[in-house]
A and B are shown apart, each in its own frame.
Chain A
Amino acid sequence: MADVTLDRITKTYNKGQTKAVEDISFSVNEGELFGLIGPDGAGKTTLFRILTTLLLPDTGTALVNGCDVVKDYKKIRSQVGYMPGKFSLYQDLTVEENLQFFATVFNSSIEENYDLIKEIYVQIEPFKKRRAGNLSGGMKQKLALCCALIHRPTVLFLDEPTTGVDTVSRKEFWEMLKRLKVQGITILVSTPYMDEATLCERIALIQAGAILSIDTPQGIIEQFPEKLYAIKAGNMSQLLQDLRSSSLVATCYAFGEYHHITLTEEGEQTTENLLASLKEQHAEVQLSPTKPTIEDCFIKLMQAS
């Protein structure tokens, strides 16, 4: 059964002048960890706000737990958990006071659902008398998650929970989400970091208010239409320019240590020629087929659209 369904949702701002999202349809299954992946301004927050009943869509319908986001907003509000992107808790309340407050507001108590947040809460419990404003970024994030979970929601919406957080804290956060999934909570999470996509069960790639693709991360990678190569050489910046000007290369993007390239039809047949001509100008040229990442797919889909 689908837990969250969007059917042709469109939303504009400034009386229709600014398009936020257009004709978006997808559904999230019960107990699924679903990722909404896209850069800032893609429309992720707008979708989250529509699903959490904070915004009315211009057209289209959306259901959460079978309830309509417009008509049954009260029901939805008592069932879901939401962590907005700029959610910063009450900085002048202590850890304990924050948690207590949100528990009460959501008609619950810390004791009632302690088992759900226990694993996360024990990590910040030593600081429970500290004001939230004096916590580290990672700890704030954990507290915010506890606050969003304290009433045992059926669906959890996390809008960019890892933005601006360092790699170590990000890894920890995703570990926590995996454990929550085991508890049967449906989780919708958005992120601008493409490398986090593979940590979700299914993902929707979103750009400029439109969905580029929806599938499992593996499925999206398999749909990558061309052969992808990784290439490196001594002078990577020069190599990038040379590859771009080559008629044999279709696309070329820097990907960390390597550049990822796809070749034209002619290029595929004459890979050796390409390699040979590059070796004339570059030292230590290495070229090998490589598996696309979600970011490769995103770029490809972005350009196709």
Chain B
Amino acid sequence: MKQFRAFVRKEFYHVFRDQKTLLLLFGLPIVQIILFGFALTNEIKDSKIVICDYAKDDASQQIIRKIEASNNFTIKKALMSHQQIEQAFKAGDVKLAIIFPNDFYDDLTHQNEAQIQIIADASDPNTATTLTNYATNIIKDYQASLINSQPTLQIRTETRMLYNPELKGTTNYVPGVMALVLLLVCVLMTSVSIVKEKEKGTMEVLLVSPFNPLLVIISKALPYLLLSLINLGIILLLSVYLLDLPVKGSLLLLVATSTLFIITALALGLLISNATATQQEAMIFSLMGMLLPTMMFTGFMFPLENMPIALQTVANIVPSKWYYIIVKSVMIKGLGFSAVWKEVLILLGMTVVLLGISIKKFNIRLA
């Protein structure tokens, strides 16, 4: 145990004394998240919308005037019917439609509750979310101005995303970055740090010590497990406080599944370090072998459904695909373990197999 502690301490010295590695370790997620944050908070001005007002009463007119006053929107057409909306979307430049039902004001005053439907063109998910938020805010404003006279009334907005109902791209970016960063950091760091010892000749001395070679590996992996958890924390904090993207489901479940994924990645790193002899090789293997498939087959950059069946099958062996599904379900959709147990099981199986192979293949000797 004393040996183990000494070893882990040594690994931390290595990490903290190597500024470049630290930069890579913590800079990468921060930069990615912040870049994304900017993409999201970009204000959109004078976006063309259409309004379909079946009610034509005081309330709907007041809301429309508020919308007109906002510099986010320009009302292009006041359409008469539902059917014309889809045509307007297909015609191109219209991004959002707001529909007031018949008897909007009546419902509001008599039942204390009324509905407004917002339909957005979600083929550009980023814009769609932003515009929907703008519109919802305006409606909420109006609701707030009525609260003095009728405190209990409520306007519900029903949002529909056309063409891309799951809004792929926006909220999905954060789980994507999580998968990418965790995988990259764990695989790259473990493989490089082990291969570095081989290259420097220190591995020879470690092998010729009474220290169990497996413990060498575990104590190499442990610091990166901890660092990756810190990384995970940073990503989550940034996404909650910078991007307003809360963790809807159980935080514990998210952290637990992330830890599982980190271990998968560490096992992969270990496997690479067994197969390579120089830091360069390990780096190339990690980047080419991990980064590319992760980008391609995780689903956050290119929707998997659109790929040929063969590639979809390939995607099934990429661990980050499953992790991505889990994070999306837990973090974005707020689902519980019952919804992701299959994916967790697949990931667990992969981890066991990878760890098994890398431990079996780990050399207690040279060559």
Determine if A52 and B13 form an interchain contact, defined as CB atoms under 8 angstroms apart.
no
Determine if B202 and A89 form an interchain contact, defined as CB atoms under 8 angstroms apart.
yes
Q: A54 with B365: in contact, given A77-B208, A87-B204 (CB under 8 Å)?
A: yes
Which of A74, A77, A78, A101 is in CB contact (< 8 Å) with B10?
A: A101
Q: Which of B1-16 contact A (CB under 8 A)?
A: 2-3, 6-7, 10, 13-14
Determine if A92 and B200 form an interchain contact, defined as CB atoms under 8 angstroms apart.
no
Determine if A53 and B365 form an interchain contact, defined as CB atoms under 8 angstroms apart.
yes
**Cα–Cα distance between A82 and B207 once the two chains are bound (Å):** 10
**Cα–Cα distance between A56 and B207 once the two chains are bound (Å):** 14
Binary CB contact string for chain B from 182 to 221 against chain A (1 if under 8 A, 0 otherwise): 0000000000000000001110111111110000000000
Q: Which of A88-144 contact B (CB under 8 A)?
A: 88-93, 97, 100-102, 104-107
Q: A92 with B14: in contact, given A54-B208, A55-B366, A105-B7 (CB under 8 Å)?
A: yes
Please tell me if B314 contacts chain A, counting CB pairs below 8 Å.
Answer: no
Please tell me if A80 contacts chain B, counting CB pairs below 8 Å.
Answer: yes
Q: Which of the four size classes fits the interface of chain B?
A: 20 to 34
Please tell me if A49 contacts chain B, counting CB pairs below 8 Å.
Answer: yes
Q: A90 with B201: in contact, given A82-B208, A101-B6 (CB under 8 Å)?
A: no
Binary CB contact string for chain A from 48 to 92 against chain B (1 if under 8 A, 0 otherwise): 010011111000000000000000011001101011111111111
**Cα–Cα distance between A100 and B13 once the two chains are bound (Å):** 13
Residues of A with C-beta under 8 A to B110:
none
Residues of B with C-beta under 8 A to A83:
205
Residues of A with C-beta under 8 A to B13:
90, 92-93, 97
Residues of B with C-beta under 8 A to A87:
200-202, 204-205
Determine if B366 and A90 form an interchain contact, defined as CB atoms under 8 angstroms apart.
no
Q: A84 with B10: in contact, given A105-B211, A106-B209 (CB under 8 Å)?
A: no
Tally chain A residues at the interface, Cβ within 8 Å: 34
Please tell me if B367 contacts chain A, counting CB pairs below 8 Å.
Answer: yes
**Cα–Cα distance between A106 and B3 once the two chains are bound (Å):** 8
Determine if B202 and A88 form an interchain contact, defined as CB atoms under 8 angstroms apart.
yes
Residues of B with C-beta under 8 A to A80:
208
Residues of B with C-beta under 8 A to A82:
204-205, 208
**Cα–Cα distance between A49 and B367 once the two chains are bound (Å):** 11
Q: A90 with B367: in contact, given A82-B205, A84-B205 (CB under 8 Å)?
A: no
- 24 intermolecular pairs with C-beta atoms under 8 Å apart: A13-B367, A49-B204, A54-B204, A54-B207, A55-B365, A55-B367, A74-B210, A84-B201, A87-B201, A90-B202, A91-B200, A92-B14, A92-B17, A92-B18, A101-B6, A101-B7, A102-B205, A104-B2, A104-B6, A104-B7, A105-B7, A105-B209, A106-B211, A148-B205
- 14 extra interface residue pairs, beta carbon distance < 8 Å, beyond A77-B209, A86-B201, A92-B17: A54-B204, A55-B365, A74-B210, A87-B200, A87-B201, A89-B202, A91-B200, A92-B14, A93-B10, A93-B13, A104-B3, A104-B7, A106-B209, A106-B210
Q: Which positions in A face B, CB cutoff 8 Å? A: 13, 49, 52-56, 73-74, 77-78, 80, 82-93, 97, 100-102, 104-107, 147-148
Q: Which positions in B face A, CB cutoff 8 Å? A: 2-3, 6-7, 10, 13-14, 17-18, 200-202, 204-211, 364-367
User: Which 5 residue pairs of A and B lie closest in terms of their CB atoms, listed nearest first?
Assistant: A78-B210, A104-B6, A86-B201, A84-B204, A87-B201
